[in-house]
Amino acid sequence: MFIQTESTPNPATLKFLPGQTVLEVGTADFPSADAAGKSPLARRIFAVEGVGGVFLGSDFVTVTKADAVDWTHIKPAILGAIMEHFQSGAPVMEGEAAPGDGHARHDGPDEEIVNQIKELLDTRVRPAVAQDGGDITFHGFDRGVVYLHMQGSCAGCPSSTLTLKMGIENLLRHYIPEVTEVRPVAA
């Protein structure tokens, strides 16, 4: 098994490509070891000292390191953990852990606008940020303000504010006049 690695715009995050499917549907975000309970793969990666977060996509694993740790020290152990997991035949997720689309539900008078927002996120934004090892999901819409949740390499990325304001906000405002602003939310 050969696992490729790619840098991301977030210097604290690396993208690992195992050359096979990681998740069949959706994504899974584990911002801490405590959150990794239902993923044997994430638990194995968190066993490497210095790992601060794990994000699973369709064909990649994004790992965020602690600030005090250098990639040269933990990257080989992370590669080993990912390789051991896939060679073991263990599932990536246990139980009924089938992720959905990641978006928060929203119904009410703005339902049509929210559906347009989710459609644009799914078709134009999420594929682009997945290339950088992250994901952005809809969290809410209130009086023109769209609230988005940033995951994987997008969480804590130095360029995430620029991505939100100059990229996503401009895109949504162009196609949906009711949108006036985009703001990030914490998990």
**Which one is predicted more confidently, 155 or 58?**
58
Instruction: Tell me the per-residue pLDDT of 5-40, one tens digit each, with 9 for 90 and over.
Output: 999 888 999 999 999 999 988 888 898 999 898 999
* 91 DSSP 8-state letter: -
> Which part of the chain is CATH 3.30.300.130?
111-185
Residue 112 is classified by DSSP as H
57-88 confidence digits (pLDDT tens): 889 999 999 999 999 999 999 999 999 999 99
Q: Which amino acid is at 35?
A: A
Q: How far is CA 112 from CA 15, 49, 93, 138, 157, in A?
A: 35, 46, 33, 14, 31
Give me Rg for the CA atoms of the chain. Answer: 17
Beta bridge partners of 182: 146
CA–CA dist 62, 52 (Å, integer) = 11
* CATH number listed for the domain at residues 111-185: 3.30.300.130
Question: Which of the pair, 52 or 150, is modelled with greater confidence?
Answer: 52
Work out the number of other CB atoms within 10 angstroms of the CB of residue 75.
16
Structure tokens belonging to residue 171: 């895109």
Q: How far is CA 29 from CA 9, 26, 102, 158, 181, in A?
A: 18, 10, 10, 19, 25
pLDDT confidence tier of residue 96, bands split at 50, 70 and 90: low
Q: What is the pLDDT of residue 105?
A: 76
Choice between 131 and 64, residue whose per-residue pLDDT is larger? 64
The fold of 4-88 is Ribosomal Protein S8; Chain: A, domain 1 (3.30.1370)
Comparing C-alpha atoms, which of 6, 4, 5, 8 is closest to residue 156? 8
Domain with CATH 3.30.1370.70 in the chain: 4-88
